[in-house]
Amino acid sequence: MTDITRAIAAATSVAASLDLPANDAIVLHNSNRLALRLTPCDVLARVAPVRHEAARFEVELAQRLAQVGCPTGLLDPRVDPLVYTRDGFRVTLWTYYEPVTPHTSPVDYAKALEQLHAGMRKVDVPSPRFTDRIVEAEDVVANPNLSPELADADRAFLSSRLGSLRRAIEDRGTVEQLLHGEPHPGNVLGTKDGPLFIDLETCCRGPVEFDLAHVPESVCEHYPNVDQGLLDECRQLVLAMVAAWRWELGDQLPNGRRFGEEFLRSLRKGPPWPTLDTVTRRLDRP
């Protein structure tokens, strides 16, 4: 998000209108949405432009998942669980969790993800399918106006790989269920209550291996009954989708182009397919 000043003003205004004192705002994360810690009320505010329509879905889903005991971040209990609109922004207010560990162990991460999936099987909500995410990536790749810096050869390669992987995964006929959609380490908080998953706007239906394709290899090793062949296909798919999004015009991820290039290199190199955290560490090396 580029208009951070206005977004912060919108969030603090909403909090103040609900009798939550917000004299200061600390930016925790900034991408398609802005995550803020408002103090002294200690609220996590998530702010997005009004065109971002997933906020209501996320709020409703968070309530349903909390009812079945899923390890997810909770909405702030001091205010009504609503999406608040202010000055062209949608604002939602969540519980702020003080981090207690710099890193969640693979065993705890896997157990929490298994618990999340078990709870999600009890929740019946209308949700997109994982293939909708593939279509979004295919649209970016297919339209040079959306990805003007993507070379023609890379465009053809990504388009082919996205299509073939979608067909291969669907042809398996694997059981599908509600998923987090992007349970990578950036969406897992280490808290005194254990690992909690946040950012539920990406929830979709698909095979659990689609979720597992976003997490470190060490986590997958502790998750039961994984179909390794399907996991390999899903890892390729995630690499291809993320590569497409990194070439999208207006992408705001820092060093996004470098990530896009690295994902393309990984796909062309072939197996073993790297996990997202492996690619990130590779690019973080001096």
pTM check: above 0.85: yes
Q: What's the whole-number mean pLDDT along residues 270-278?
A: 95
In tens, the pLDDT along 81-123 reads 999 999 999 999 999 999 887 778 999 999 999 999 999 999 9
pLDDT of residue 2: 64
Contacts 24+ apart (CB under 8 A), 116-119: 116/65, 116/70, 116/71, 116/72, 116/180, 116/183, 116/197, 117/177, 117/179, 117/208, 117/211, 119/65, 119/68, 119/69, 119/70
Q: For the chain, what percent of residues have pLDDT higher than 90? A: 87
pLDDT of 250 strictly over 90:
no
pLDDT tier at 1 (50, 70, 90 boundaries)? low
Quote the CA–CA distance of 253 and 259 in Å, as a whole number.
Answer: 9
Is residue 60 pLDDT above 90, yes or no?
Answer: yes
Q: What is the pLDDT of residue 5?
A: 93
Tens of pLDDT, residue by residue over 6-16, are: 999 999 999 99
Residue with tokens 């390794």: 228
30 pLDDT more than 90: no
**Residues 144-187: tens digit of each pLDDT:** 999 999 999 999 999 999 999 999 999 999 999 999 999 999 99
At residue 209 the predicted structure's pLDDT band, cuts being 50, 70 and 90, is very high
